[in-house]
């Protein structure tokens, strides 16, 4: 129900006479429930997927643009501006799903990579260790996350993977004094 709600939200806002707004949804889940919900709702979306060790673009994100088949590897995260994010306020013109732990292969969704998931502690050390977020996370996504309010759904406080990622993208003082 939550994924269907998120997928229907832009259209529902419009139906209520409000401005159609899109979301950036960051997930550490491996399933494709989000993408399936957006496809069922006929709501366009882009995906940024972190590529795990052993994949062609390991240690980088790739961008799957709505309506395109071939992923765009993001070789220069500080320069890449291909996401549907515009203006100084970072408004989204389509929803962007950010898969911070990779994704299981699912040809129906367009994920063709075998074993593309960050799951072990060693994977996380390779992912987050020694590099600033700016060298890995595309600048548009990083800027949007750093300037936005975030709602966390379905995450336990004990989920160390998400906490480590958040500490990595928000170095120093946390937003609104969060720890």
Question: Is residue 174 over pLDDT 60?
Answer: no
Reported confidence tier of residue 15, pLDDT bands at 50, 70, 90? very high
- HSE of 50 in the Cβ direction (CA atoms, 13 Å)? 27
Question: Is residue 6 over pLDDT 60?
Answer: yes
pLDDT value at residue 150: 76
pLDDT value at residue 62: 92
Q: How far is CA 98 from CA 13, 26, 116, 125, in A?
A: 22, 5, 14, 20
Mean pLDDT highest for which of 39-48, 98-107, 158-167?
A: 39-48
Q: How far is CA 150 from CA 66, 136, 144, in A?
A: 24, 20, 10
Neighbours of 88 (CB within 10 A): 7
**Do 166 and 100 meet the contact criterion of CB atoms below 8 Å apart?**
no
Helix axes 160-169 and 139-147, enclosed angle (nearest 10): 100
For 68-124, the pLDDT digits (tens) are: 888 899 999 999 999 999 988 889 999 999 988 777 666 677 677 776 666 666 666
**Do 62 and 11 meet the contact criterion of CB atoms below 8 Å apart?**
no
The pTM of this model reads 0.87
Determine which of 24-28, 48-52, 60-64, 126-130 has the lowest per-residue pLDDT on average. Answer: 126-130
């Amino acid at each position: 129900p939550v994924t269907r709600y998120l997928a229907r939200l832009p259209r529902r806002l419009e139906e209520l006479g409000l401005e159609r707004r899109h979301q950036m949804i960051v997930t550490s889940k491996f399933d494709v429930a989000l993408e399936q919900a957006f496809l069922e709702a006929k709501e366009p979306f882009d995906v940024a997927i972190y590529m795990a060790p052993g994949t062609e673009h390991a240690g980088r994100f790739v961008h799957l643009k709505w309506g395109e088949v071939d992923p765009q590897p993001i070789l220069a995260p500080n320069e890449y501006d291909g996401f549907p994010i515009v203006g100084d306020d970072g408004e989204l013109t389509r929803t962007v799903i950010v898969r911070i732990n990779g994704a299981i292969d699912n040809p129906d969704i367009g994920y063709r990579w075998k074993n593309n998931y960050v799951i072990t502690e060693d994977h996380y050390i390779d992912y987050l260790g020694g590099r600033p977020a700016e060298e890995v996370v595309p600048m548009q996504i990083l800027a949007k996350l750093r300037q936005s309010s975030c709602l966390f759904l379905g995450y336990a406080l004990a989920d160390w993977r998400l906490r480590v990622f958040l500490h990595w993208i928000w170095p120093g003082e946390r937003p609104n004094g969060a720890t």
